[in-house]
Amino acid sequence: MARSENDANEREGGLAVENGFVEESQSSPVPSVLTADVIPAQRASEGKDSLSYANILRSRNKFADALSLYDGVLEKDSGCIEAYVGKGICLQMQNMGRAAFESFTEAIKLDPLNACALTHCGILYKDEGRLVEAAESYQKALSADPSYKLAAECLAIVLTDLGTSLKLAGNTQEGIQKYYEALKIDPHYAPAYYNLGVVYSEMMQYDTALSCYEKAALERPIYAEAYCNMGVIYKNRGDLESSIACYERCLAVSPNFEIAKNNMAIALTDLGTKVKLEGDINQGVAYYKKALSYNWHYADAMYNLGVAYGEMLKFDMAIVYYELAFHFNPHCAEACNNLGVIYKDRDNLDKAVECYQLALSIKPNFSQSLNNLGVVYTVQGKMDVAASMIEKAIIACPTYAEAYNNLGVLYRDAGNISMAITAYEQCLKIDPDSRNAGQNRLLAMNYINEGDDKLFDTHRDWGRRFMRLYLQYNSWDNPKYPERPLVIGYISPDYFTHSVSYFIEAPLIYHDYGNYQVVVYSAVVKADAKTIRFRERVMKKGGLWRDIYGVDEKKVASMVREDKIDILVELTGHTANNKLGTMACRPAPVQVTWIGYPNTTGLPTIDYRITDSFADPPDTKQKHVEELVRLPECFLCYTPSLEAGPVSPTPALSNGFITFGSFNNLAKITPKVLRVWARILCAVPNSRLVVKCKPFSCDSVRQKFLTTLEQLGLESLRVDLLPLILLNHDHMQAYSLMDISLDTFPYAGTTTTCESLYMGVPCVTMAGSVHAHNVGVSLLSKVGLQHLIAQNEDEYVQLALQLASDVAALQNLRMSLRDLMSKSPICDGQNFISGLEATYRNMWRRYCKGDVPSLRYMEMLQKQDAADELTVETVEPEKVTISTDTSPGAVKSNGFNQVPLLTTSEENGNLLHQTTNPGKLS
């Protein structure tokens, strides 16, 4: 019986038995020479001619005829030893063992030293399983005739079988002794070497085992089992190439050896995973496919092909192989989990849930699927069940760092920022290198920290650690001609129906491509109609469009270098699926952050942050790593949705009461905001509040929100809570429900404010001390609604009350707002791009003069680091290593990053993290 390698995950095809080695070799049948033994000549007798003829017949396998002649000889001469031996052999060859034994016994009585008869008695003992008696008989034969080769061969066989019996009975050392006794008798007996190899393998003495297998193969070059077991040892040592070479030798001598074919498939699969992890994913795929040529139903190879194709973004192929893996191994929960990730990223949430639940039916405590199910429920706004799933994932795996990150995202979406930050910090305690949690924590702090140095310090510290993960370019081939045409790169994952897309459209359309060549680096996960429209416009105007989703950030940096980008502009900041890793490489001479994040990135390799004098006044106290550059008008240019539809009359005309509203995400609606809103509603009789955001699909979140307002004096019956509205047209028409939009603070709305104004709904905002607070100030100032900007909470309340007091004036303002906004700098793409291009030109002129803000900042950091190291060396030299080891290790990438569900009504969200089970070793 043969054995196959164990799968490390207990998931293998073929035979599944013990330690991966072929069983001890059973003894070989007695060589055919037995039927033609040369019997020592006896003294002359009357029947000598008959005896000679009988021997000839026996040598020709005519045993019945020979037996008759032997009987005739013995009738005439009952003391003829040669006749008894010949008769015994004939009987033995006709399976008449008892009669044969009696005949050999008679020969031994006549000649106790007859080696041939003693040997054949031993063979008969062995056939009956009486190995000890067989060995004794062989030994007597050799004592009688030490040169009798057949006895030596048979004794080596029986000693080997005795060794195997002793080993199986638990007497391993005695078994080993018998194997060595066999080799002492016959130094060329391959099965003894082989079985010693098996024993030493089981004792984990692999060097000795290999030596024994090699000797077995040397004595018997067609010993397939020896080659197979050598392959197992090499495989278990991680020497996959040597392992595969052994399996190839095995299959060369035994092409249909199923165990070797199965083991070859396992080794090739592991080699595929190895080379894939080393960066050669195509070779990895080739090895996985080759594995299937040896074992076409090997589920692990299929599963790993699914992983590889997923990493190559060939998701249709990945689905095929995951489904095949599950078909051939219905216990493969990992395949179900990874199918769920693909369906989730394709927005097929029902199918994703089905896959995760199937995985959990196989492995109820499968932390990855519990986590991923929680991710889907979070995206759907089902906060209670989402929290339950993620908490179960943490119970199943308390060190599952990313589950804490996802719990933080859930708390953030539910509006509980302090608990979100706590969860992110717990993730970072487990995995200090977690990029998702680190950046989500930074984003979350913007909701509650205003003008706090701690907020800047946290961003700065993150940026310094993150930068150390990458090597920075320090020279560029871009010609330093101040007035030459420039190449501008825009990098973002948000070139689809997403908040940022409404502000990047104008630059893509209105840039002077003759003087400002545009290259778009799109990390969009799932393109939509807007993505296609953007691509077509850029390409039509002579720009370049590069899809970089799934491409390593360092490789993207190389692409930026190859494209000779002069100014690289990132549009995401610390929000979902950003490419700050590319910016950390500093691939372009000038690097800029804009639009997507209301604060400093903290990254020292970025030179400028684009803003304006309203969002970031010249006397701002807010600190930034980047240098602020202010556009002449607003820092944003809004391109309205094509699906907006007409402006409706203010609803108070038909309702008879005022409706205040907000479509900002729940994280922005802080307790302080709710207190101010409650003051307004309580001061306006019969007024109502409409709030729309994703988590309101969850009963507990709705109830908590309503309870908070009731505690502030606002009856829940006066509040309408709407969940996420997926269709953009329906979302924009939902603004027809409100008369007055109430902005949030200290994190104001951006897209929601623009949408509100475009749909005719005036917005009351409040000025603050940081950019996030002042976005509404910038937008309203440029639309001509400065009178709706409050300086404090009391003024905010009064402005809202004044608007609500005159419905006719509200109606007039509503009907004029779209035209007012459309003619304002906020929607004037042509004028906006002139200011933006002038800003880019000034940045480039400064670079050509050697004025590079990021280089100055990085030089300052180097000096600080040198001073810090000197201080540490002087005071506590023994702690130098510890004190400077502040940079985290390599950023982990466990599967596919989560993307927020399609929406235009909320700001760019946090990074959720789905976990894709990685390729496995067999």
- Nearest-angstrom CA–CA distance, 124 and 387: 74
Sign of CA dihedral 102, 103, 104, 105: positive
> Across all residues in the chain, what is the average pLDDT?
88
Question: Which residues face 519 on adjacent strands?
Answer: 489, 544
Give the model confidence (pLDDT) of 372-427 as tens digits.
999 999 988 899 999 999 999 999 999 999 999 999 999 999 999 999 999 999 99
Burial class from Cβ neighbours inside 10 Å (0-12, 13-18, 19+) for residue 799 reads: buried
Mean pLDDT of 104-130: 84
How far is CA 609 from each of CA 447, 482, 603, rounded to the nearest angstrom? 20, 21, 11
Give the model confidence (pLDDT) of 517-536 as tens digits.
999 999 998 899 999 999 99
Angle (CA) 830 831 837, round 5°: 90
Mean pLDDT of 885-911: 29
- Nearest-angstrom CA–CA distance, 762 and 739: 8
Residue with tokens 């139903």: 297
**Residue 256 pLDDT class (50, 70, 90 cuts):** very high
Q: What is the pLDDT of residue 883?
A: 24
In 534-599, where do the E strands start and end?
Answer: 544-547, 567-570, 590-593
Do the domains 253-467 and 486-637+831-851 sit in the same CATH topology, yes or no? no
Residue with tokens 């990730």: 341
**Residue 917 pLDDT class (50, 70, 90 cuts):** low
Angle in degrees, 0-180, between the axes of helices 829-848 and 501-510, rounded to the nearest 10: 80
Give the model confidence (pLDDT) of 725-752 as tens digits.
989 999 999 999 999 999 999 999 999 9
Q: What is the pLDDT of residue 699?
A: 93
CB of 698 within 8 A of CB of 381? yes
Give the model confidence (pLDDT) of 197-234 as tens digits.
999 999 999 999 999 999 999 999 999 999 999 999 99
For the domain covering 32-231+241-251, report its CATH number: 1.25.40.10
Q: Residue 522 belongs to what H/E stretch?
A: strand 516-522
Q: What is the pLDDT of residue 718?
A: 98
Helix/strand/coil (H/E/C) assignment for every residue in 860-894? HHHHHHHHHHHHHHHHCHHHHHHHHCCCCCCCCCC
- Is residue 906 predicted with pLDDT exceeding 90? no
The count of C-alpha atoms lying within 13 angstroms of the C-alpha of 682, restricted to the half-sphere facing its C-beta, is: 13
- At residue 740, φ and ψ (nearest 5 deg) are -135, 130
The lowest-confidence range among 160-164, 169-173, 746-750 is 160-164
Give the model confidence (pLDDT) of 766-787 as tens digits.
999 999 999 999 999 999 999 9
The lowest-confidence range among 205-219, 429-443, 517-531, 895-909 is 895-909
Give the model confidence (pLDDT) of 299-334 as tens digits.
999 999 999 999 999 999 999 999 999 999 999 999
The pTM for the full model equals 0.80
In words, the CATH class of domain 652-827 is: alpha beta
Q: Which of 901, 917, 727, 907 is nearest to 378 (CA)?
A: 901
> Cβ atoms within 10 A of the Cβ of 136, count?
17
- Nearest-angstrom CA–CA distance, 336 and 327: 11
**Residue 868 pLDDT class (50, 70, 90 cuts):** low
Domain residue limits, the chain = 32-231+241-251, 253-467, 486-637+831-851, 652-827, 855-884
- Is residue 865 predicted with pLDDT exceeding 90? no
Angle (CA) 802 808 810, round 5°: 55
Is pLDDT larger for residue 13 or for residue 467? Answer: 467
The lowest-confidence range among 7-16, 72-81, 345-354, 663-672 is 7-16
Give the CATH architecture of domain 486-637+831-851: 3-Layer(aba) Sandwich (3.40)
Residue with tokens 């995401």: 572
- Is residue 27 predicted with pLDDT exceeding 50? no
- Nearest-angstrom CA–CA distance, 600 and 460: 8
CB of 611 within 8 A of CB of 635? yes
> Which CATH superfamily includes the segment(s) 253-467?
Tetratricopeptide repeat domain (1.25.40.10)
Alpha helices in 737-875 (DSSP H): 751-758, 771-783, 793-804, 807-822, 829-848, 853-875
User: Which three-class secondary structure state does DSSP give residue 717?
Assistant: helix
- Nearest-angstrom CA–CA distance, 751 and 519: 25
